[in-house]
Amino acid sequence: MIPSGCMHVVFRFSDQPIRIFKSIEDRQGDTFYRGAVAGMRSAYYVKDIALSACTVGASLRPGACEALFGMPADEVSGRHVALEDLCGSEARCLAERLQEMSDLNRRLEVLELFLARRLHGVFSIHPAIAHALSRFSTTSHIGKIVEETGYSHRRFIQLFRQSVGISPRIYTRLLRFQRTLRYGFDQTRGRWIDVALEAGYADQSHFNREFRELTGISPSEYVLNRSEDSHHVPIRGQFRSIQDKVKKA
């Protein structure tokens, strides 16, 4: 699972729990039997999909963690947390209700209603962070954006982490990476290096290094193994033996 630049909440409808591993080498992992909240991440993680299962979930925008769960986003960044730990009996009741339903659209409606009811007051993000997120769509000059907000650099980073879950520097890295994924699926744009330069990387080595840091694989390995979803990469070949060892441990 490649970093998407979002938080996520997900429910599983089967006897097969959600199993998450920090990396391919992680042999223990974490297990979630109902719902889980995935914090913002700056690196890949591994999800066990050996058995097919039905899930329903939602992507959460910056600021949603505080609004929905009453906690800063950086407290769950880089990890998964059981929804019951954040919502208690509400999560258990929701899981049971969703389990009883068979219509996917109805499940989505119930999940959306659950999230809407948990909003603490009027959902709003700090104005400085809202401004920064808007500006990051056109520039990655963090210093200039901090000046525009009127806050000190230290205070701005603190506010950004609370709302988004990661630092502005890492967030802009993820935005640039997301651009390469979008461009990479467009066969008319040519070679990876052309894609990388268009996305804002300095050169080929810069692109290759950052791609491997975020995904655990090279761009060429990604092209060979990618699925229809640009953020999902099936584990094949040399990685399969490692996954088998994980399951036996």
* One domain for residues 110 and 30: yes
Residue 244 belongs to a domain: no
Counted domains in the chain: 2
Residue 235 belongs to a domain: no
* One domain for residues 36 and 102: yes
* One domain for residues 109 and 145: no
* One domain for residues 77 and 150: no
Both tokens of 89, joined, read 């009996």
Does 199 have pLDDT greater than 70? yes
* One domain for residues 76 and 150: no
Which residue, 118, 143, 176, sits at the end of a domain?
118
* One domain for residues 57 and 13: yes
> Across-strand partners of 18?
32
* One domain for residues 133 and 112: no
* One domain for residues 17 and 60: yes
* One domain for residues 24 and 94: yes
* One domain for residues 11 and 114: yes
User: Which pLDDT score is estimated for 236?
Assistant: 61
pTM over 0.75: yes
Q: What is the pLDDT of residues 102-147, one digit of tens each?
A: 888 898 999 999 998 888 666 678 999 999 999 998 888 999 999 9
Residue 132 belongs to a domain: yes
User: Which pLDDT score is estimated for 120?
Assistant: 64
Range of the domain at 108: 7-118
Residue 133 belongs to a domain: yes
Residue 168 belongs to a domain: yes
Q: Measured between alpha carbons, how far is 37 from 8 in angstroms, rounded to an integer?
A: 6
* One domain for residues 15 and 97: yes
Q: What is the pLDDT of residues 45-87, one digit of tens each?
A: 998 887 777 888 899 988 889 889 989 999 999 999 999 999 8
Which residue, 87, 118, 149, sits at the end of a domain?
118
> Across-strand partners of 57?
10
Residue from 183, 196, 199, 213 nearest 2 by CA: 213
Both tokens of 2, joined, read 């490649």
Q: What is the number of helices (H) and of strands (E) in the chain?
A: 12, 7
* One domain for residues 162 and 219: yes
Residue 101 belongs to a domain: yes
Distances (CA, A) of 73 to 56, 69, 146, 198, 235: 21, 9, 20, 31, 29
Residue 144 belongs to a domain: yes
Q: What is the pLDDT of residues 9-53, one digit of tens each?
A: 988 877 778 889 988 888 888 999 878 999 999 999 998 887 777
